[in-house]
Structure 1
Amino acid sequence: MSDSCRTACEAKVAFQSCKSPDANDRVQFYDSWAQNYEKDHALMSYRAPDLAVSALSDHFSGSPEAALVLDVACGTGWVAKKMVERGFRHFVGVDGSGGMLALAAQTGLYQDLRLALLGTQPLPAQTDGFDVVIIVGALDAGFAPVSVVRELCHAAKPGGLVCMARGEHRGAPARKYKEDLERELDLMEEEGLWRPVGIKQSDRYMEDPHLNPEREEDTEEERFIGGTVYLYRKSIRPSVQISH
């Protein structure tokens, strides 16, 4: 049951708890977190769905009503709800938590919902099947491995868009993840799999979940972490493998 009296402190505890190194523990935590997931993110001024959907919509030239969207790590359906506001209507969702998928089903927005743990199980999506592939928030150390981005690209139709949003969390693991991710993105571009459409950065992606909300000495800038939205268009021609 959702707790209508949640506080920012409780939300931060939840954010800190979701990074268990054990995948099964993470799934169990997300199952139990599902009812408070959106409320806790709102308490943390989480802007990732808005940032991602805005960047995607600015570069989507087709008919959103006809587009088929693969919403990866879809959670409770927050991203799909934002995309509906932009005219998108057809969604397939993938998530590793059955509890999250149960709430996503209640939105009535998804034509299909599929249970799969990214990096542990193959992405359950048809190759070249989607006009838009979007993932918000899961690309970080301890969650979806960098290798998942190739699966996202494979799922997109030739000429389709792949949108990825992630927060710039502080700490060595997050910095290393970003380096590895951007190296992979560049390599995939060199291989001819896709081309960049745009990179949009924000200095107010969300409040830093690792700061004490009662610390009065933190400045407004210190309270927030930045974030990046990466947008790529899948190549229409077959990729050309290059040697390194």
Structure 2
Amino acid sequence: MGLPAAVRDRVAAVHRGSTLPERLRLYDGWAARYEQLHRRGFRCLHGVDGSAGMLERARSTGLYQELRLCVLGKEPLPAPAEHYDAVTVVGALGEGQVPSTVLPELLRVTKPGGFLCLTTRSNPSNLRYKAELEAALGQLERSGAWQKLLAQEVEYWERATTEEESPQGTGYISGVVYIYQKCPVPDLKEG
């Protein structure tokens, strides 16, 4: 399963220094461990979490240069505007977790032309949230804030915690990976 040609071209243009197959494997399996990012040359990783315990766990990996306590959607991200080349939210966009209203804040800290990789689950208890999220994603795209590069369903996204969450009886729930690119700020012309 590969990425569409337009996504491949953009990824290649942004991430020089590693081979195209390495970059594509990274984006194809984005939700996999952040160690993959490090092995592929990404060295400036920052993280936020609403749990001090999770931040300690992340700190123990030695992968992150900066970790901050922050509850997404409840407070501004502890970063200046247009600071990051890429922002990822994997496993937190869901019912009772991070609200979809966080999207403008994620855009705020992403550089123009930067990427946002977001995921959510497609299990029965998350379908209402998923619909709200997709409406918000679409609204931001229609307003010109970003462009969707990928929305890919993943059948075996994560292990189900209950049998009801895995209607196909596999023990897994499905999910969706979204990749967006923040639209560049247009040049202002004098006169």
- Is the shorter-chain TM-score for this pair beyond 0.5, marking a shared fold? yes
Paired residues of 2:163 and 2:169 also in contact (CA < 8 A): no
Per-residue deviation at 1:120? 1.8
Match 2:74 to one of 120, 136, 142? 120
Match 1:210 to one of 162, 182, 189? 162
Do structure 1's residue 191 and structure 2's residue 139 form an aligned pair? no
Q: Deviations over 1:126-165 (max 9, x none)?
A: 2111001001010001000011111111111000000001
CA distance, structure 1, for counterparts of residue 137 and residue 144 of structure 2: 11
2:87 match = 133
CA distance, structure 2, for counterparts of residue 155 and residue 204 of structure 1: 31
Q: Deviations over 1:33-63 (max 9, x none)?
A: xxxxxxxxxxxxxxxxxxxxxxx99953323
Paired residues of 1:131 and 1:160 also in contact (CA < 8 A): yes
Match 1:177 to one of 89, 108, 129? 129
Give the direction of change, closer, same or farther, for the CA distance of 1:90–1:141 in structure 2 (3 Å limit). Answer: same
Per-residue deviation at 1:169? 2.0
What amino acid sits opposite 1:189 in the alignment? Answer: E
Bigger RCO (CA 8 Å, 6+ sep): 1
Match 2:64 to one of 105, 110, 129? 110
What amino acid sits opposite 1:151 in the alignment? Answer: E
1:236 match = 184
1:60 match = 11
CA distance, structure 2, for counterparts of residue 143 and residue 164 of structure 1: 14
Unaligned runs of 5+ in 2: 1-6, 19-31, 187-191
CA distance, structure 2, for counterparts of residue 104 and residue 155 of structure 1: 21
Given the two structures, how large is their TM-score scaled by the length of structure 1?
Answer: 0.61
CA distance, structure 2, for counterparts of residue 197 and residue 138 of structure 1: 21
Unaligned runs of 5+ in 1: 1-55, 67-77, 213-217, 239-244
